[in-house]
Amino acid sequence: GIQHIKTLNVIFPSTHWTIQGYIDIQN
């Protein structure tokens, strides 16, 4: 969800967290 994306935004480069966030939403 949104919080998951925000966490990834902090930890990983923008490209990585965008991809992971997209997968998270789709699933």
The per-residue pLDDT for 22 is 72
Question: What pLDDT is recorded for position 19?
Answer: 73
Residues 1-27 as b/e (b if ≥16 CB within 10 A, e otherwise) read eeeeeeebeeeeeeeebeebbeeeeee
The confidence score (pLDDT) of residue 15 equals: 67
| pLDDT confidence band for 27 (50 / 70 / 90) | low
Reduced to 3 states (helix: H, G, I; strand: E, B; else coil), residue 27 is coil
Predicted confidence (pLDDT) per residue in 3-24, tens digit:
666 666 676 666 666 777 777 7
pTM: 0.23
Please say if the pLDDT value at position 25 is more than 70. yes
